[in-house]
C-alpha cells in the first residue's frame, strides 16, 4: 500500500519539492527585495543577555514560557491602550508564523471558512488548506489617494454560516495601511453579530508613519475573547532568525489555544531571557531602525513616482511599498519575471497577495540599505548593491517598458 | 453565542487551568525526581557558539533549517548504522515534543487509532485527543529478571483496520529497555503487513548501559518510509531549555511531514549553529554525563533493592528507574501521594505510564546529584538535597509502610 494512504487527507497529492530545497542560490549580482527580513545586526547587549542566560543555567525546561517574559509583553502592549493579564492572556510562540498556526489549530474544523482581504499577507492564510478550511477573499478598495481601505459592505457579503474567522494585518502587509478606529469598530461589530474570531496580525506596530496611531482591535468592547493577536520580535527587533513571538487573547480563548499540543514552549529559555531585556528597553535600537526605514520609504516613494506608469503612496505603516504597475500593461507576475530577467532585481507580484485587487501591483520590501548608510561589517553587500541601485534598475526597466 | 462554539470540536469541554498556571512553587525542602530534566550546565563553548552566531548576524530567517545542522545530524545518526540524506530526510524541530506533534499532524485523521505500549511515555500519546484519534494500549510483559519486553502477540491483537501508527521509545521511558534486533524486526513486520507507521522516539540513545546497542528501526528493510524518528539535543546535551530536536524519516514521508504548516523552522539560528558545534564534537561532555548517570543508577538500584517490598532492575538505557512497588500493597498514585506527604519526595506513579502494566510501579528520574559530586555553583541545592537524601527518604517511607 502506498505511504500516501497513511497521511492526513488534506496533505495528500503529488509530492512537491520540500521547502528546504527551494533555497535558491542567488547569483552575486542579484538584489532581492522579496522577503521582509530586516537587515540590521542585533545590538551587542542582546547577544550578551543570551550568553549570560546560558551560563546561568537557563537551559532547563521552561514549561509554558517564562512568566517574566509574559509580564514584559503585557507591559509593552499596554502602550497601545490594552492591558492583558500576563499569565492568563499571553502565550509565547516560536515567531509569528507559529502563532498563526496555533490560532488556526485552535479554531478550525474541516469545512470552516476564513476570510482574508485581497490583498493580504500570504503566510496568514497558507495554513488553511491543511485544516481543510476554505479561504474566502474579501476585496479591499482603493481610496482617491491610492490607499487600500477595507470595504465593509464587501466584507459583509462574504460572511456565511461557516465563517469562523477573519485574518487581518494591522499595520497591513503589503498594503501599508493602519486601520482607523471606525474601520476596526465596523469589523468588530460584524465579528460580534456573526460570531466569528478576528486574527489580528500586529507584527509592524513599531513602524508607523505620519502620525498614525495603532489601535488594537482586542481593546474594543467585547472583543477580548474573540480576538487572537499575533505579534513577534521579528520585525520590531530585527529578530527574524531568533524565532520569538507571542499571542495575546482573551482569558477564555487563551485557555483553548493552550490546549493545542504543539509541544513544550518552543522558544529557548536564553532567547526568552534576551527578549525580556529587549522589551524592557532602551528602545533606541528600534527607533533607529524606524528612522532608517522611513528614510528608505521617502527615498523610494519619490523615485518610484518619477518612473513611467508607476504610482506609489507613502505607506502609513510597515516597510513595504506596494506600487500600482497596472499602467505598464503587464500582469504583476510578468512584470516581476521580466524585471528579474532584465535587471536581476527580485520583488513579489501583487497576485501573491490577492488575485483580484492585489493584481496590478508589486511588493517591494525595503530591507536593503541606502548606499549612503554605513553598514555593519557582517552585512556583506557591495556598495552598489543597495536600495539606490535597486531603484536605478527598476527605473531602467520601467523606461524600457514605456518605449 | 459562546466562544466554545468557535473552537475545534476536539478541544471543547470545561475550561481547565492552563499549563502555564500549573507551575507549582516547590517548598525548599522538597526533592523532585519527577521531570527528566538533566541537571548539568552546558559547557562554555556552547554559550560561546551561540554568542558568536548572533554577533555574526545569524539572526535572519533560516527557512527550512540550517543545511549544516542537517548534515551534522545525519553524520551523528550514521553511528547507529543508518545513513539519512540530510536535505531529504531531516527536519529540524523545536525539541522532541514538537517533533511528536508534527509526526501526528502529518498522519492522523479523526477516528484513526494509535497504539502505545503500557507502560510508555505520556508525552508520546497526549496529542492524540486533539487529533480526534483513539489511543490503544498494548500491554508489555515482564521477563523473569523483571525487564519489560514487548509482547508481540498482544500487539498483534490490538491492530485493527484503523491502526495508523505505533508509538514507541527506544531506549524506553520509563521502562529503560533497549529493543533487541528480534523485537524490532517483529514490530517492523507487523508495520509492513498491516500498513502502519512507527513513531520511534529515540531521545536517550547516548545513555545505554551494560553493552547493549541501539538499533534504529528505520534501518530495517523497507522501514524508511514508514518510520518517523524523533530525536533531540534535550537529554543528550542537557539542552532541554534550548528546544532543539529533529525528525528523521524516509524521503517520501519527509516531504509530507514538511507540509504541516507549523511555521518557519522554530529553532533560532544561533541555537542551530551551537547544535552543529555540539554534534561535531568533542563528546567528552556527553560521556561525562553518561558516566555520572550510570553511577547514580548503580547507587540507587542497590539502595532500592535493600528497601522492603521494592524490586528494581538496572535499566538497559536512559536514566529512569521504574521499580516494582506492588508488594507494598499500595496503588502507585497512593504510594507517590503518601511519599510526598511524609517525605517531601516527588516521583511519578506508574499509572501515568500505563493503566494496567505500569500500575504497581513508580518512576524515579535520576536527575539530581549524588552528594559526593561537586555541583556547579548555579545549581542551587543544599548538600543534603541530593539523590542520597532522596534514597534515605524513600527508605524511611518504605520501612514505615512495612511496619
| Chain B CB within 8 Å of residue A14 CB | no
Residue B144's pLDDT is what?
96
Residue A19 has pLDDT above 50, yes or no: no
Residue A18 has pLDDT above 60, yes or no: no
Residue B20 has pLDDT above 60, yes or no: no
Residue B1's pLDDT is what?
57
Do B68 and A72 meet the contact criterion of CB atoms below 8 Å apart? no
Measured between CA atoms, the residue of chain B closest to residue A233 is B59
Strand B197-201 and strand B227-232: pairing?
A: parallel
CB < 8 Å from A in window 140-169 of B = 164
Q: Residue B93 — pLDDT band, cuts 50, 70, 90?
A: very high
Closest by CA position to A93, among listed A248, A215, A207: A248
Question: Are residues B130 and A261, on separate chains, in Cβ contact within 8 Å?
Answer: yes
Q: Residue B6 — pLDDT band, cuts 50, 70, 90?
A: confident
Arithmetic mean of pLDDT, A131-141 = 97
- pLDDT, tens digit, 9 for 90 and up, residues B321-354: 999 999 999 999 999 999 999 999 999 999 999 9
Q: Which residues contact A99 (CB under 8 A, 6 or more apart)?
A: A91, A93, A230, A231, A232, A245, A246, A247, B263
Closest by CA position to B15, among listed A254, A247, A255, A87: A255
Q: Across all residues in chain B, what is the average pLDDT?
A: 92
Arithmetic mean of pLDDT, A18-23 = 42
- Alpha helix locations (H) across B17-91? 44-55, 67-77, 86-89
Question: Are residues B254 and A18, on separate chains, in Cβ contact within 8 Å?
Answer: yes
Question: Are residues B63 and A106, on separate chains, in Cβ contact within 8 Å?
Answer: no
Q: Domain segments of chain A: what residues?
A: 3-43+283-402, 44-279
Residue A20 has pLDDT above 50, yes or no: no
Rounded Cα gap, residues B207 and B294, in angstroms: 8
Residue B386's pLDDT is what?
78
- Overall fold of domain B60-279: 3.40.640
- pLDDT, tens digit, 9 for 90 and up, residues B174-227: 999 999 999 999 999 999 999 999 999 999 999 999 999 999 999 999 999 999
Residue B378 has pLDDT above 50, yes or no: no
A-chain residues within 8 Å CB-CB of B70?
20
A-chain residues within 8 Å CB-CB of B109?
8-9
B-chain residues within 8 Å CB-CB of A20?
63-65, 67, 70, 87, 91, 258
Per-residue buried b or exposed e for A257-276, using 16+ beta carbons within 10 Å of the residue's own CB: bbbbbbbbbbbbbbbbbbbb
Residue A371's pLDDT is what?
54
Arithmetic mean of pLDDT, A5-18 = 75
CB < 8 Å from B in window 338-377 of A = 376
CB < 8 Å from B in window 46-65 of A = 46-48, 50-51, 54-65
Rounded Cα gap, residues A365 and A387, in angstroms: 10
Q: Which CATH architecture is the domain A3-43+283-402 placed in?
A: Alpha-Beta Complex (3.90)
Residue B25's pLDDT is what?
55
**B230 DSSP β-pair partners:** B201, B247
What DSSP letter does each residue of A171-238 carry, written as one string? S-TTT-----HHHHHHHHHHHHHHT-EEEEE-TTTT-B-TT-----GGGSTT-GGGEEEEEEHHHHTT
Question: Are residues B54 and A42, on separate chains, in Cβ contact within 8 Å?
Answer: yes
Q: Which of B203, B266, B365, B381 should we substitute to test contact with A (largest number of A Cβ atoms within 10 Å)?
A: B266
Quote the Cα angle for A323-A215-A284, to 5°. Answer: 80
Measure CB to CB from residue B268 to each of A97, A265, A271 and give the nearest one.
A271
Question: Are residues A51 and B47, on separate chains, in Cβ contact within 8 Å?
Answer: yes
CB < 8 Å from A in window 86-115 of B = 87-88, 91, 93-101, 105-109
Q: Residue A1 — pLDDT band, cuts 50, 70, 90?
A: low
Please state which of the ranges A77-91, A223-237, B26-40 shows the lowest mean pLDDT: B26-40
Question: Are residues B54 and A50, on separate chains, in Cβ contact within 8 Å?
Answer: yes
pTM, full prediction: 0.94
Half-sphere exposure of B319 (CA within 13 A, CB side): 28
Measure CB to CB from residue A260 to each of B46, B130, B376 and give the nearest one.
B130
Residue A209 to chain B, least CA–CA distance (Å): 25
B-chain residues within 8 Å CB-CB of A94?
94, 243, 263, 266-267
Question: Are residues A263 and B195, on separate chains, in Cβ contact within 8 Å?
Answer: no
Q: Across all residues in chain A, what is the average pLDDT?
A: 92
| Chain B CB within 8 Å of residue A21 CB | yes
Closest by CA position to B148, among listed B366, B391, B361: B361
Closest by CA position to B366, among listed B30, B33, B26: B33
Question: Are residues A239 and B59, on separate chains, in Cβ contact within 8 Å?
Answer: yes
Residue A11 has pLDDT above 60, yes or no: yes
Arithmetic mean of pLDDT, A10-32 = 64
| Chain A CB within 8 Å of residue B259 CB | yes
For the segment(s) A44-279, the CATH number from 3.30.230.10, 3.30.470.10, 3.40.640.10, 3.40.30.10 is 3.40.640.10
Question: Are residues B241 and A101, on separate chains, in Cβ contact within 8 Å?
Answer: no
Rounded Cα gap, residues B27 and B29, in angstroms: 6
A57 vs B198, more confident = B198
Do A94 and A118 meet the contact criterion of CB atoms below 8 Å apart? no
Q: Residue B384 — pLDDT band, cuts 50, 70, 90?
A: very low
A-chain residues within 8 Å CB-CB of B59?
41-42, 238-242
Amino acid at each position: 500500500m502506498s505511504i500516501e494512504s497513511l497521511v492526513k487527507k488534506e496533505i495528500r497529492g503529488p509530492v512537491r519539492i520540500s521547502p528546504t530545497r527551494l533555497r535558491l542560490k542567488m547569483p552575486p549580482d542579484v538584489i532581492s527585495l522579496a522577503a521582509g527580513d530586516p537587515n540590521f545586526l542585533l545590538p551587542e547587549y542582546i547577544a550578551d543577555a543570551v550568553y549570560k542566560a546560558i551560563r546561568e543555567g537557563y537551559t532547563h525546561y521552561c514549561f509554558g514560557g517564562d512568566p517574566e517574559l509574559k509580564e514584559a509583553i503585557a507591559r509593552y502592549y499596554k502602550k497601545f491602550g490594552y492591558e492583558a493579564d500576563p499569565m492568563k492572556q499571553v502565550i509565547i510562540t516560536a515567531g509569528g508564523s507559529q502563532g498563526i498556526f496555533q490560532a488556526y489549530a485552535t479554531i478550525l474544523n474541516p469545512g470552516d471558512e476564513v476570510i482574508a482581504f485581497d490583498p493580504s499577507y500570504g503566510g496568514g492564510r497558507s495554513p488553511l488548506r491543511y485544516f481543510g478550511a476554505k479561504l474566502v477573499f474579501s476585496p479591499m478598495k482603493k481610496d482617491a489617494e491610492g490607499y487600500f481601505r477595507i470595504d465593509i459592505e464587501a466584507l459583509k457579503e462574504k460572511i456565511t454560516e461557516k465563517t469562523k474567522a477573519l485574518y487581518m494585518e494591522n499595520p497591513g502587509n503589503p498594503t501599508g495601511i493602519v486601520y482607523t478606529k471606525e474601520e476596526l469598530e465596523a469589523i468588530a461589530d460584524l465579528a460580534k453579530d456573526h460570531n466569528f474570531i478576528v486574527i489580528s496580525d500586529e507584527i509592524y506596530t513599531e513602524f508607523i508613519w505620519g502620525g498614525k496611531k495603532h489601535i488594537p482591535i482586542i481593546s474594543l468592547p467585547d472583543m477580548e475573547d474573540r480576538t487572537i493577536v499575533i505579534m513577534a520580535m521579528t520585525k520590531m527587533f530585527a529578530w527574524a532568525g531568533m524565532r520569538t513571538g507571542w499571542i495575546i487573547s482573551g482569558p477564555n480563548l487563551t485557555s483553548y489555544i493552550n490546549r493545542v499540543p504543539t509541544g513544550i514552549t518552543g522558544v529557548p529559555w536564553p532567547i526568552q531571557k534576551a527578549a525580556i531585556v529587549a522589551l524592557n528597553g532602551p528602545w533606541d535600537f528600534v527607533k533607529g531602525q524606524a528612522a532608517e526605514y522611513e528614510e528608505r520609504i521617502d527615498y523610494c516613494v519619490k523615485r518610484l513616482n518619477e518612473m513611467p506608469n508607476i504610482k506609489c503612496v507613502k505607506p502609513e505603516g510597515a516597510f513595504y511599498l506596494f506600487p500600482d504597475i497596472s499602467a505598464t500593461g503587464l500582469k504583476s507576475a510578468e512584470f516581476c519575471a521580466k524585471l528579474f530577467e532584465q535587471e536581476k532585481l527580485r520583488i513579489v507580484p501583487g497576485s501573491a497577495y490577492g488575485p483580484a485587487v492585489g493584481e496590478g501591483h508589486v511588493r517591494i520590501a525595503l530591507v536593503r540599505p541606502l548606499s549612503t548608510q554605513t553598514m555593519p561589517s557582517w552585512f556583506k553587500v557591495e556598495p552598489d548593491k543597495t536600495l539606490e541601485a535597486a531603484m536605478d534598475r527598476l527605473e531602467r526597466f520601467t523606461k524600457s517598458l514605456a518605449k
